[in-house]
Chains A and B, each alone.
Chain A
Amino acid sequence: MTVHNSDINHSLEPFSGSCLCGSIKFEIHRKYLNAIHCYCGMCRKAHGTAFSTHALATPSQVQWTEGKSLLTGYESSPGAYREFCPVCGTHILVHGQSGDDSLAFPAGTINGNPALTILGHMYTDDLVSWYVINDNLPQHHQWPPGFGSNDD
């Protein structure tokens, strides 16, 4: 069931995404997607990998088209929530992590393999020894509020 968002810009072709089992689906209505790689210990645990890659959006750009009520949240740090699908375990959304209303969608959940603009690496102090960063993108100790999500 679609949860209607009256702020959506319907002139844009949306990006769509879902969890692995398809119980939860969403659309991101933006011209293009910015993303960051996060190496913090919580992302590592939440995703089972060396880092997470999150595509960024504001609430006015997101429409839930299926299963929004299924989202199961875990408060991984004060005020920061990680929402996942209780059927297949896929992490769908992080919010509250940067002190504003920006939403972060794990990039692996987005359909069709669209291009992302990777803005940089976050929490690189926590990088594990078994992964090496091989590019020259900016590295940040923390996640600045509003970073990457305020444009469309």
Chain B
Amino acid sequence: MHKGSCLCAKVHYSIEGELSDFGYCHCNSCRKASGSAHGANSGIARANFKLSDEEDLVREFESSPGKFRAFCSRCGSPLYAYLTKSRDLIRIRLGSLDSHFNKTTKAHTFVSDKACWESIADSVPQFAEWAPREVLIQTGSKQP
């Protein structure tokens, strides 16, 4: 089981089962939304995700048609995202995890968009856009 929360700790979640493999997404949208060099997201079935939001603080933003990013409206923490065409799957923003997560990244995706000041110095495969499914399955994303 995994647990997570936002920065102000008003919103909590728990996850049954294991999180999927993850990649670092360097696309402009993830860089804007996170304010960081890349996003770090892992997919799970919504049925395995239990959200505790007693003060109704979670807000959703449609960052592109049919893609929603959920964050805490009190502290701004990004929590998860999902597509309307696959509402039964969500993608957790790994920085919100409180529990230990011992997987390592499988791919760098959308490096064609990456920040010029970020130097990728590891040996993890890099892909200009989506990673092929034999390398990384990005559950709940627009991956073809």
* Cβ-defined contact, B105 with A130, below 8 A: yes
* Cβ-defined contact, B34 with A108, below 8 A: yes
Distance in angstroms from A68 CB to nearest chain B CB is: 16
* Cβ-defined contact, A129 with B102, below 8 A: yes
Q: Which of A42, A52, A82, A90 contacts B32 (CB 8 A)?
A: A90
Among residues of B, the one whose C-beta sits closest to the C-beta of A82 is B76
Query: Which residues of A have CB within 8 Å of B115?
Result: 53, 107-108, 113, 116
B135 interface contact, C-beta 8 A:
no
Distance in angstroms from B70 CB to nearest chain A CB is: 8
Query: Which residues of B have CB within 8 Å of A74?
Result: 7-8, 74-76
Considering the chains assembled together, what is the distance between the CA atoms of A21 and B31 in angstroms? Answer: 13
* Cβ-defined contact, A134 with B73, below 8 A: no
Query: Which residues of A have CB within 8 Å of B101?
Result: 128-130
* Chain A interface residue bracket vs B: 35 or more
Known A20-B63, A89-B59, A135-B121; contact A46-B75, beta-carbon cutoff 8 A: yes
Known A53-B37, A107-B37; contact A88-B77, beta-carbon cutoff 8 A: no
A-B pairs with beta carbons under 8 Å apart, 18 shown:
A20-B33, A20-B63, A46-B95, A47-B35, A48-B33, A48-B34, A48-B77, A49-B37, A49-B38, A49-B94, A51-B37, A52-B36, A74-B8, A89-B73, A91-B76, A108-B32, A134-B121, A134-B122
Known: A47-B35, A47-B95, A134-B122. 19 other contacts (CB 8 A): A45-B6, A45-B77, A46-B95, A48-B77, A49-B38, A53-B117, A72-B73, A74-B8, A82-B7, A89-B72, A91-B34, A92-B35, A107-B36, A107-B37, A108-B35, A108-B115, A113-B115, A114-B117, A132-B104
